[in-house]
Amino acid sequence: MDADKVFKALADPTRRKLLDLLCERNGQTLGQLCENLDMARQSATQHLQILEAANLVSSVRRGREKLHFINPVPLHEVYERWVRKFERQRLSLLHDLKKELEGKQP
Partner DNA sequence: AGAAGATGCAGATAAATACCTGCATATCAA
Partner DNA sequence: TTGATATGCAGGTATTTATCTGCATCTTCT
Judged by CB under 7 A, does residue 103 bind DNA? no
Which residues are CB-neighbours of 58 under 8 A, at least 6 positions away?
52, 68, 69, 71
Identify residues 6-45 at the interface with its own copies (CB under 8 A). Answer: 7-8, 10-11, 13, 16, 19, 23, 26-27
b/e burial code for range 15-26 (CB count within 10 A of at least 16 → b): beebbebbeeee
Rounded to a whole number, what is the largest CA-CA distance in the chain? 75
Nearest distance from C-beta of residue 100 to DNA, angstroms: 13
In this complex, which beta carbon is closest to its own copies, that of residue 42 or of residue 105? 105
Answer for the pair 70, 26: CB distance below 8 angstroms, yes or no. yes
When binding is defined by CB under 7 A, the residue of 24, 25, 42, 88 that contacts DNA is 42
In this complex, which beta carbon is closest to its own copies, that of residue 34 or of residue 57? 57
Q: Which residues bind DNA (CB under 7 A)?
A: 8, 11-12, 14, 29-31, 34, 39-43, 45-47, 50, 61-66
